[in-house]
Amino acid sequence: MSEKDCTFAKSMKNEDMMDCSRVLMAGPCSAETEEQVLSCARSLAAFGDALPANTRLLFRAGLWKPRTSPHSFEGVGEAGLAWLRKVEIETGLAAATEVATPAHLRLCLDSGLRHLWIGARTTANPIMVQQIADTLHNEYADLSGSLTLFVKNPVNPELALWIGAIERLQKAGVEHITAVHRGFSAFHTGECRNTPLWSIALELRRRMPGLPLLCDISHIAGKRALLTTIAQTALNLGFEGLMVEVHPSPAQALSDAAQQLTPDAFACLLHNLRMPAHRACPSDDRLAELRQRIDEIDDALWQLVVDRQQVSQDIGRYKQEHNLPVFQEARYRQLLDRRMAWAARNGLSEETVQRIMEALHEASIGVQLR
Ligand code: PEP
Ligand code: MN
């Protein structure tokens, strides 16, 4: 389907947003001019049928941009607050921006904005997150129920730091918090600008059940060509929504030009995505049957792990009696090499097999040391 075929239906306002289970936050990386902000917001507000069912659309635009280089465009700052409020009043879309200091927070809240995000560099800085939390608690306690904060993962892959930032804000009384996975920095990134580590996001979900989770596909991808695949992966994993950078003319964007989509291309992206229901239906017989099989396989698998550990214990005793070291590097390498060759022959991911093998070996060493 071409971009042109993805036409927008008539204007749609998001009056009835409370029932919406999916969230899309879209808009430019940076607010650049009033005209750019409003034109982008008007195009998005006119999405209508291009918006999936049960979806709440929010507008985003950064005012204070945490740029790597001081030579880059660092945002229009305070001047853009009035543009974002104009978006809210004119289009009915809630507008969100990034706050990186208590001063940003005060300016945003005093101007009437109620949707804010904490960026990846700020999440990595507990002192700054605490200052923001203290400002909320000490000066804006009356807004604790009407404010929504989006907390991006820190730039480094440390789940505890992400959870810590969320907890600081929860302790300050913020009732509505959503986590945002935007990938992690690395010296050598692969295809993506910031590597997505889905296992960290899913572990956050396990540790903080009920916390909505969005995927910032633009800052993960860094380039338009990767957006659809990343978005589909996130939705398949049960993310509640997406953050997507959308600009009226991406080629002219003052920041992140390579990853932003035109509003038309964004509509196309949405059209091409499969939107899974949030929860699998437990009364589905076929699914129940398959899950039962998984449970049976797990039972057998774990019995084998118990058997393996018992043999490891015997090996440990033998090594002790014969004064041998517990860890024998050559044997470990042999185990790994054999299993890797097996993985390749059986079409299993070598990375997965290596991780499982490492965990089994660590458990075996543990039992032998005891
Ligand atoms: C942004 O969303 O504009 C941004 C700067 O993102 P991040 O904090 O994820 O780098
Ligand atoms: Mn950006």
Interval between CA 177 and ligand 2 midpoint (Å): 21
The pairing of beta strand 22-27 with beta strand 55-60: parallel
119 lines ligand 1 (CB under 6 A): yes
Residue 321 has pLDDT above 70, yes or no: yes
User: Rounded CA gap, 4 and 78, in Å?
Assistant: 36
- What value does the mean pLDDT take over residues 335-342? 94
pTM equals 0.84
Interval 10-27 mean pLDDT = 60
pLDDT at 187: 87
Confidence of residue 199 (pLDDT cuts 50, 70, 90): very high
14-23, 157-166, 331-340: which is most confident:
157-166
362 vs 5: CA distance, rounded Å: 55
pLDDT at 15: 36
Q: Which residue has the higher pLDDT, 114 or 283?
A: 114
- Ligand 2 mean position to 139 CA, how many Å? 30
| Cβ atoms of residues 91 and 59 within 8 Å | yes
State residue 4's pLDDT score. Answer: 43
> How far is CA 239 from its chain centroid?
8
What is the average per-residue pLDDT within 241-258? 98
Q: What is the pLDDT of residues 200-224, one digit of tens each?
A: 999 999 999 999 999 999 999 999 9
Q: Is the pLDDT of residue 30 over 90?
A: yes
Confidence band for 281, pLDDT divided at 50, 70 and 90: low
The pLDDT of residue 282: 65
Contact 249, 221 (CB under 8 A): no
Separation of CA 62 and ligand 2 centre (Å)? 8
pLDDT at 11: 30
In whole angstroms, give the CA distance from residue 246 to residue 61: 9
